[in-house]
Amino acid sequence: MQLSAKTEEQLRIVSVLGSRIDAAVALEFKDAMRIQTEDGPDTVVLDLSEVQFIDSSGLGAIVASMKTLGANRKMALAGLTPTVERVFQLTRMDSVFSVFSTLDSALAELRH
Amino acid sequence: MPILPPFTVSIPSSEMAVRDALKQVLAALGPLELGTEEAGTVELVLAEVLNNVVEHAYPDPDTAGPISIACAHRIDGLHLQIVDQGEAMPDGTTPLGQPVSLDVDFEDLPEGGFGWFLIRDLAKDVLYERVGSKNQLSMRLAVALQPGETRH
Tell me the pLDDT tens digit for each residue of B94-144.
Answer: 888 888 888 898 889 999 889 999 999 999 999 999 999 999 999 999 999
Q: Does A27 touch chain B (CB under 8 A)?
A: no
Is the per-residue pLDDT at B149 higher than 60? no
Instruction: Count contacts between A and B (CB, < 8 Å).
Output: 81
Domain residue spans of chain B: 7-141
Interchain contact, A60 vs B122, CB within 8 Å: no
CATH of A3-105, one of 3.30.750.24, 3.20.20.450, 3.90.180.10, 1.10.274.10: 3.30.750.24
Interchain contact, B111 vs A61, CB within 8 Å: yes
Tell me the pLDDT tens digit for each residue of A52-105.
Answer: 999 999 999 999 999 999 999 999 999 999 999 999 999 999 999 999 999 999
Predicted pLDDT of residue B151 = 56
Is the per-residue pLDDT at B2 higher than 90? no
Q: Is the reported ipTM for this assembly greater than 0.85? A: yes
Predicted pLDDT of residue A111 = 84
How would you classify the pairing of strands A53-54 and A20-21? Answer: parallel
| Cα–Cα separations (whole angstroms), residue B16 to A40, A65, B53 | 33, 22, 13
For an interface test with A, which of B18, B37, B44, B48 has the most A Cβ atoms less than 10 Å from its Cβ?
A: B44
- What is the C-alpha separation between B88 and B93, in angstroms, rounded? 9
Q: Does B47 touch chain A (CB under 8 A)?
A: yes
Domain residue spans of chain A: 3-105
Kind plus residue range of the DSSP H or E element containing B8: strand B7-12
CATH topology of domain B7-141: Heat Shock Protein 90 (3.30.565)
Q: Does A93 touch chain B (CB under 8 A)?
A: yes
> What average pLDDT does the segment B39-55 reach?
97
